[in-house]
Amino acid sequence: MADTPPVTAPRTDAVRHHDPRVRGFASDNYAGVHPEVLAAIALANGGHQVAYGEDDYTAHLQDVFRAHFGPRAEAFPVFNGTGANVVALQALTERWGAVVCAASAHIHVDEGGAPERMGGLKLLTVPTPDGKLTPDLIDREAWGFDDEHRAQPQVVSITQSTELGTCYTPEEIRAICDHAHERGLAVHLDGSRIANAAATLGVPLRAFTTDAGVDMLSFGGTKNGLLLGECVVVLNPERVRAMKHLRKLSMQLASKMRFVSVQFEALLAGDLWLRSAGHANAMARRLESAVRAVEGVTVVRPVQANAVFARLPREVSERLQKRYRFYFWDESTGEVRWMCSFDTTEEDVDSFAAALAEEMAVHSA
């Protein structure tokens, strides 16, 4: 008979399973939860509150979002960014509808086909040099209206800040919205890093959303210090329908929603959203400056938010990845992406830049 492994008594307390000193530049999703957000979650705990969004925190959250986006805004908390985008795009389209987006858009590249498989949507993608759509680029796919053989363009989806780290100006978004609306298309903004864009532009959130003509917004929280949760924000109620049913149908209705809503209150009721995003952006600029000084490293895209894109020898990146986590952006060219977050420190940046210089020196020796 085989030996029976010893039975280990179950633990009765939580154990830390990671080294909190480890830092990386792979994604702002790697960062932990902002202490002010954790405190808000604890504040909302205790006692009983009505489930599924009928709680006091979610009710108050509407006022918080309206302070930023105007009196008609309505926020629908969801679990994650993919869910937010799928719910928002479903609310703006009919079953035969299609979405015009950049070829680099997250909804096309990084959501595992969820808009297509879960939302039943056709994505009409347009190559862009900098991740940003323009009216002329939109027209490459916004055609064939009333052609029964073609999925019907009904929405333009843009990302702010973009997947390539660039930011639309309010004027650029206004031009897109005016152009889309003239053609009967709605405009959705994927704002997974919307706070970083606002910090860069130095304008209120509504300046490039509500005031620019955006109809629907996916508002990101986890990349800016939340534990979990994003919000679908309806900016133009005339463009959408059945939001509460779509959220439930898409498995994005939280039972204990108060703990999602109170995080957004902590983020948006004061200036935490702007402080955190502004800090992440500043660390990205510091990183850009440091790596530009390393011979053999080329920063290949404008640093307008909290991302730095660079090109360096592949073997250097692979060795450096053993010391710091980050991802290749384009395997064919050796382009990598380094992300900063609300808790990135100057020491983190300087240590990473020093490690990069060391690895480049080894490569050049």
* DSSP per-residue letters across 283-318: HHHHHHHHHHTSTT-EE-S---SSEEEEE--HHHHH
- Predicted confidence band of residue 6 (pLDDT cuts 50, 70, 90): confident
Q: Are 346 and 283 in contact (CB under 8 A)?
A: yes
- Which phi and psi (to 5°) does residue 272 adopt? -60, -40
- Tell me the two tokens of residue 2: 């085989």
Percent with pLDDT over 90 in the chain: 93
Q: Is 183 exposed, middle or buried (0-12, 13-18, 19+ CB in 10 A)?
A: middle
- Tell me the two tokens of residue 46: 């205790």
Per residue in 270-326, pLDDT (tens digit) is 999 999 999 999 999 999 999 999 999 999 999 999 999 999 999 999 999 999 999
* Close Cβ partners of 201 (under 8 Å, ≥ 6 residues apart): 167, 169, 170, 207, 208
Distance, CA of 361 to CA of 295 (rounded, Å):
9
Query: Mean pLDDT in the chain?
Result: 96
Q: Is 300 exposed, middle or buried (0-12, 13-18, 19+ CB in 10 A)?
A: middle
Per residue in 59-69, pLDDT (tens digit) is 999 999 999 99
Paired sense of beta strands 152-159 and 298-299, if any: unpaired
Distance, CA of 341 to CA of 364 (rounded, Å):
31
